[in-house]
Amino acid sequence: MVKTAVMVSGNGSNLQALIDSKAKGTLSHVELSLVVASKEDSYALTRAKENSIDAVVVSRKKYKDDVAAFERELIPYLQKYDIEMIILAGFLTVFTKDFISIYKDRIINVHPALLPSFGGRGYYGLRLHRAVLDSGVKVSGATIHYVNEDIDSGKIILQKAVDVKEGDTPETLQLRIMQQAEWILLPKAAEMVAIKILEEKNDKH
């Protein structure tokens, strides 16, 4: 199994989808080794605790604009747990190039829209879904992608379209995208990437 850290900032419903998938047996190559929360009031911490997954808080607020300092606190935890894959599941920090190069092709992110549309700085949370509604597009969805140096622009792993409906609010659209796309796609992509990591390891031996 691939030792995996799930990084979260909030509610953690995508973390829950990974936990549920694990319980169902459909995430057999992924070991949920560690949850890292960037906020101490993140409900994801409760989910980790209830499921006996180790969790730590690395406060993002403490470091203000100094992301590298945040990463310096984070890295020893990732090393301690021998983390080989990082899943950003509603994690609101953009890593430095140096950090990403350490974990090249080992970090994946869930984005609640169909990239390359509605991606980049500022496109997150309800603001993103509001922008989708304002634009008039009739489909949105979710994208699971590798994280590279540029925001929301790494190679796409999986994508699923979800209808935008008449009368949608950012909240209703957000929930439909989670239910119909994110919670299904993220465990699937995590399993795919884990298998790829294991294959690469075997090739080296």
Identity of the residue numbered 161: A
In this structure, the number of other CB atoms found within 10 A of the CB of residue 205 comes to: 4
Catalytic residue among 29, 111, 129, 145: 111
Length of the chain as a residue count: 205
Q: Which stretch binds ligand GRF (CB under 6 A): 8-16, 67-75, 131-139, 154-162?
A: 8-16
By the rule CB under 6 A, 14 interacts with ligand GRF: yes
By the rule CB under 6 A, 90 interacts with ligand GRF: yes
- Nearer CB in complex with ligand GRF: 141/191: 141
From residue 101, give the alpha-carbon distance in Å to each of 95, 152, 156, 195.
10, 16, 18, 21
Residue 142 Cβ vs ligand GRF, minimum distance, rounded to whole Å: 6
Q: Which stretch binds ligand GRF (CB under 6 A): 6-14, 54-62, 161-169, 190-198?
A: 6-14
Residue 87 Cβ vs ligand GRF, minimum distance, rounded to whole Å: 10
| Bridge partners (DSSP) listed for residue 141 | 161
Q: Which residue is nearest to ligand GRF (CB)?
A: 90
By the rule CB under 6 A, 182 interacts with ligand GRF: yes
- DSSP codes, 78-109: HHHTT--EEEESS--PPPPHHHHHHTTT-EEE
By the rule CB under 6 A, 152 interacts with ligand GRF: no
By the rule CB under 6 A, 119 interacts with ligand GRF: no
Q: How far apart are CA 32 and CA 85, in angstroms?
A: 10
**Is 111 an annotated catalytic residue?**
yes
Per the CB < 8 A criterion, the answer to whether 47 and 18 are in contact is no
Residue 51 Cβ vs ligand GRF, minimum distance, rounded to whole Å: 15
Nearest 5°: the CA angle 112, 115, 120 is 80
- Interface ranges with ligand GRF (CB under 6 A): 8, 10-14, 89-90, 110-112, 178, 182
Q: Which residues are catalytic?
A: 111
